[in-house]
Amino acid sequence: MVHSIRSYILITCGGMIQGLGMAIFLFPHSIPSGGAGGIAVLLNYWLNMPLSFALWLVNFSMLVVAIYWLGNASAIGTMYGITITSLSVHLFSFDLYRPYTNVWFDLIIGSIILGFGVGILLRQGVSNGGMGVLALIIAKMKNIAPGQPLFLLNGSVFIITGSIIAWPIVLQALLSQWLSTKMVDFVFKLKPILSFPFSSPFLAARKKRERTSHRK
């Protein structure tokens, strides 16, 4: 129970940090934070759907598809993280919280903050949603850090978003993803200084499930 509480605290922090980076620095310039963020921007552009709800809807749909590979424990944690992120996007989606207007400054700072939040989530064995679900599955199968597959998966969404809204968004989105995935890998590969930050019941549940499968 103690470990579960610790992990949920970290998932809450990761989700809030991720949402802050999106709402304050990236979304005001229509820069997709990732595959799910790109689709959310398109839904907002086409249907005038609130970004916070569009992000939640895309992430939830992707999560339902991936529950089998993530396992129930990781799926619950991922859904919780997605909800926290969406609520944070809604909370910070006010001009009051946007002190800067330079797109390149916002892109760099927002991408670093985003990657830090996503890295915290992935260290807890849960996904940040969207393409992060697939990236986590690929990383698990190939035993690699999830940054590279996350970057490759999001590229196609960026191209679609840029072709519909504005082509400069493609360059901005790719640069944002490069910075954020570097930060993701940095956080993901950090060796735990204390047992507190990285103890995760979701990873333990997944490993137990894998051992059971091998025995069968």
Look up residue 143 and give its DSSP letter.
T
What are the Cα distances from residue 46, in Å, to 22, 158, 184?
A: 19, 16, 30
d(CA 94, CA 215): 53
Q: What is the pLDDT of residues 135-186, one digit of tens each?
A: 777 887 888 877 778 777 787 777 777 777 777 777 888 888 889 989 988 9
Look up the pTM and report it. 0.71
Q: What is the mean pLDDT of residues 116-125?
A: 88
- Distance from the Cα of residue 75 to its chain's centroid: 14
182, 114 Cβ separation under 8 angstroms = no
